[in-house]
């Protein structure tokens, strides 16, 4: 095998959809069991139809870890492919069909910022600080958390991980300084403030026990007193797709038709999650609507491709629509398209690997600690799906 990183050659642009489909099918059958194609729920239909297995980011990393395949083509975004590389055996080659398929939220916490924030917070804080990173983060940030006695979490297990991180601390229901100063353990939650806030609030921690650390402000924009008082220090990061959902949209849908149930991803703002009937990972959303009775109506606060898929699957049986009136598209997920998929499969068939995702051994070892801790905390690693 040769390994290199060229860019997509021009010939692929002119291929018609039918031809792309035929050629992908042919490559898949040629590569057989040597190949595993994983597809995240946000992938476009034209890609997901070729996925051997689909899931949320947690389920996909588990599936990757269990594979006997030689090549994992990850139809998702960069941090997911990195997690797969960390969790698979060394000999497994993980490929991301388009290397520019990143995650803007993961990019909001770079490792230099995290190290600076850690030094700052450690100087100004006398409790045990536990770093927890959402899986939507770089391998370097995961490695940092692993090496500092922290852990990784996903949207399907954030509560379990936070309960571990804050073990012994009780949200008393009191707000403000007194609650926080009694705390001996506190969390630096990276990089999604919303998942951190929604999860901790769901566990009973009041909003006043949380403070937002802004990495571009000196001292995170927090006074010493605010740092001391907070139990949850939430990194100022967010998902640009999920921030498009608003509490007003929930009100509008309910006013127009009270039969709608609202289900959202916990990357949405706290005000949206509070108004929704349910919140959980993409796998949780999918399973909930799959299991719902015929005739039910659902307004869904997550990426448009998953919502459209559910709407089509249940057309005439259940009503499924996007919570927002505008398209909420993850543009980076969308970069994975049939052209790129065919290209990486063509190259594999010719004995060449393009767009391999490789995490260096030192980073891998640290990130593995954070990921393994998460897996230990949720028991046998089964995708335990729970609302935030
Ligand atoms: P899930 O873990 O629910 O798949 O979410 C990943 C993600 O990026 C959502 O924006
Ligand atoms: Fe990242 Fe948001 Fe896209 Fe998920 S939907 S991959 S969090 S940008």
CA 195 from centroid of its chain's CA atoms: 10
- Residue 380 domain-assigned (yes or no): no
How far away, in angstroms, is 239 Cα from ligand 2 center?
A: 6
Same domain, 113 and 220: yes
Tell me, what's the pLDDT at 3?
60
- Which atom, in ligand 2's list, is nearest to the CA of 42? 5
Same domain, 196 and 248: no
What are the distances in angstroms from CA 274 to CA 6, 197, 262?
46, 11, 11
How far away, in angstroms, is 76 Cα from ligand 1 center?
A: 10
Write the DSSP string, 319-385. Answer: EEEESSSS----TTGGG--HHHHHHHHHHHHTTEEESB----HHHHHHHHHHHHHHHHHTTT-----
For 289, the token pair is: 């609507």
Determine the residue of 61, 303, 306 to mutate for testing ligand 2's pocket, defined as the one with the most ligand atoms within 8 A of the Cβ atom: 303
Determine the residue of 51, 54, 56 to mutate for testing ligand 1's pocket, defined as the one with the most ligand atoms within 8 A of the Cβ atom: 56
β-strand pairing of 297-301 with 319-322: parallel
Ligand nearest to the CA of 155: 1
Same domain, 136 and 70: no
- 3-class secondary-structure state, position 296: coil
Tell me, what's the pLDDT at 168?
73
Same domain, 9 and 84: yes
Digit-coded pLDDT (tens) for 299-325: 999 999 999 999 999 999 999 999 998
Q: In sequence order, what are the beta bridge partners of 37?
A: 73
For the whole prediction, is pTM greater than 0.95?
no
Tell me, what's the pLDDT at 4?
60
Tell me, what's the pLDDT at 295?
98
- The 8 Å CB, 24+ separation contacts for 207-210 are 207/175, 207/270, 208/175, 208/176, 208/179, 209/171, 209/175, 209/179, 209/180, 209/183, 210/234
CA separation for the pair 270, 349 (Å, rounded):
47
Which of 266, 261, 268 has its CA nearest to residue 291?
Answer: 261
Helix (H) or strand (E) holding 185: strand 185-190
Tell me, what's the pLDDT at 6?
66
CA separation for the pair 155, 268 (Å, rounded):
11
Tell me, what's the pLDDT at 178?
43
Same domain, 22 and 41: yes
State the DSSP code for 89: -
For 363, the token pair is: 């980073």
- Residue 115 domain-assigned (yes or no): yes
Helix (H) or strand (E) holding 377: helix 361-377
Same domain, 190 and 119: yes
- Which atom, in ligand 2's list, is nearest to the CA of 104? 8
How far away, in angstroms, is 281 Cα from ligand 1 center?
A: 6
How far away, in angstroms, is 144 Cα from ligand 1 center?
A: 21
Domains contained in the chain, number: 3
Q: Which residues contact ligand 1 via a Cβ below 6 A?
A: 56-58, 136, 154-155, 239, 265, 267, 281-282
Determine the residue of 62, 135, 136 to mutate for testing ligand 1's pocket, defined as the one with the most ligand atoms within 8 A of the Cβ atom: 136
The answer to whether the beta carbons of residues 187 and 209 sit under 8 Å apart is no
For 318, the token pair is: 């259940």
**For ligand 2, atom 2: residue with the closest CA:** 239
Same domain, 120 and 219: yes
Q: Which residues contact ligand 2 via a Cβ below 6 A?
A: 77, 103-105, 136, 239-241, 267, 303, 330, 332-333
Residue where the block lists tokens 């509008």: 252
Q: Which stretches of the chain score pLDDT less than 70?
A: 1-6, 172-183, 380-388
The answer to whether the beta carbons of residues 79 and 106 sit under 8 Å apart is yes
Same domain, 94 and 143: no
Same domain, 85 and 191: no
CA separation for the pair 231, 171 (Å, rounded):
9
CA separation for the pair 225, 222 (Å, rounded):
8
Give me Rg for the CA atoms of the chain. 21
Same domain, 231 and 114: yes
CA separation for the pair 278, 146 (Å, rounded):
31
Full residue range of the structural domain in which residue 264 is found: 242-322
Angle, helices 282-291 vs 304-313, to 10°: value is 20
Same domain, 230 and 259: no
Q: What is the CATH number of the domain that holds 169?
A: 3.40.50.10800
């Amino acid at each position: 095998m040769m390994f290199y990183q060229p860019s997509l050659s021009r010939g692929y642009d002119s291929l018609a959809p039918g031809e792309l489909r035929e050629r992908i099918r042919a490559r898949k059958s040629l590569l057989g069991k040597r190949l595993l194609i994983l597809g995240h729920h946000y992938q476009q239909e034209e890609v997901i139809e070729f996925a051997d297995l689909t899931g949320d980011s947690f389920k996909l990393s588990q599936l990757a870890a269990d594979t006997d395949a030689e090549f994992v083509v990850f139809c998702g975004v960069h941090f997911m492919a990195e997690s797969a590389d960390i969790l698979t055996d060394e000999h497994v080659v993980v490929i991301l069909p388009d290397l520019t398929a990143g995650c803007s939220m993961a990019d909001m916490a770079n490792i230099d910022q995290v190290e600076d924030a850690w030094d700052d917070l450690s100087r100004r804080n006398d409790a045990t600080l536990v770093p927890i990173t959402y899986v939507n983060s770089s391998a370097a940030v995961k490695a940092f958390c692993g090496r500092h006695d922290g852990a990784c979490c996903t949207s399907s297990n954030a509560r379990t991980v936070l309960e571990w991180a804050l073990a012994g601390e009780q949200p008393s229901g009191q707000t403000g300084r007194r609650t926080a100063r009694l705390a001996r353990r506190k969390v630096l939650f990276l990089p999604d403030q919303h998942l951190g806030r929604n999860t901790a609030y769901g566990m009973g921690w009041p909003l006043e026990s949380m403070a937002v650390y802004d990495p571009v402000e000196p001292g995170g924009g927090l006074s010493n007193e605010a740092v001391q008082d907070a139990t949850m220090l939430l990194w100022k990061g967010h998902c640009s797709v999920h921030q498009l959902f608003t509490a007003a949209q929930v009100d509008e849908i309910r006013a127009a038709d009270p039969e709608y149930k609202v289900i959202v991803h916990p990357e949405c703002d706290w005000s949206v999650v509070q108004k929704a009937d349910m919140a959980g990972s993409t796998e949780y959303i999918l399973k909930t609507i799959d299991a719902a009775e015929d005739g039910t109506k659902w307004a869904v606060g997550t990426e448009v491709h998953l919502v459209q898929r559910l709407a089509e699957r249940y057309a005439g049986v259940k009503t499924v629509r996007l919570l927002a009136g505008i398209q909420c598209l993850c543009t980076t997920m969308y970069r994975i398209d049939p052209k790129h998929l065919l290209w990486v499969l063509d190259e594999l068939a010719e004995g060449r690997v393009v767009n391999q995702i490789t995490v260096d051994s030192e980073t891998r070892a640290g990130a593995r600690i954070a990921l393994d801790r998460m897996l230990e905390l949720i028991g046998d690693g089964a995708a335990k799906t729970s609302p935030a």
